[in-house]
Amino acid sequence: MTDSNYPSVSLLNLASNAAVAKAMEQEISPLRWRGNIHVDGLEAWEEFTFVGKTLRVGGAEFRVEEPITRCLATHANPETGERDAGVLAALDRKFNHQEFGMNLVVIKSGDVAVGDLVDILQ
């Protein structure tokens, strides 16, 4: 079950999460975005440049489809369920979009584990 019209998994950039938290002047848990793969070591929003590219994570390969347009569910604190952050307004006001993370399509199945490197293949 996905938020896209096709089977997908999501990739989230922890630097982009930190940029949102800084813009909102509050802690924003990466869990708020309900992502599948969290990456570290990128510049904030660098993942937006990956559209159309193929990534390898562990033994799996993915095609990067598009940024994920976010909904009001992101306003809910993942620990309490309470709406405690106007994430959509902050994204719009500070970054001129309401997107966070990328939708990926699996093109080669394989094992993915915490600590696996993300390689850009093409």
CATH topology for the 9-120 domain: M1 Pyruvate Kinase; Domain 3 (2.40.33)
Give the single-character DSSP code of 83.
B
Taking the CA atoms of residue 41, residue 98, residue 64 and residue 79 in that order, the dihedral angle to the nearest 10 degrees is 60
Q: What is the pLDDT of residue 1?
A: 63
Residues in the chain: 122
Let me know: does 114 contact 36? Beta carbons within 8 Å: no
Q: What's the whole-model pTM score?
A: 0.93
Q: What is the pLDDT of residue 70?
A: 95
Residue 120 has pLDDT above 70, yes or no: yes
Q: For residue 5, what are the contacts with CB-CB under 8 A and spacing of at least 6?
A: none
pLDDT tens profile 62-95: 999 999 999 999 999 999 999 999 999 999 999 9
pLDDT tens profile 3-50: 788 889 999 999 999 999 999 999 999 999 999 999 999 999 999 999
What are the DSSP E strand ranges found in the chain?
9-13, 37-39, 54-57, 60-69, 99-108, 118-120
Classified as helix, coil or strand, 98 is coil
Give the single-character DSSP code of 14.
H
Domain ranges in the chain? 9-120
Give the single-character DSSP code of 91.
H
Let me know: does 50 contact 102? Beta carbons within 8 Å: yes
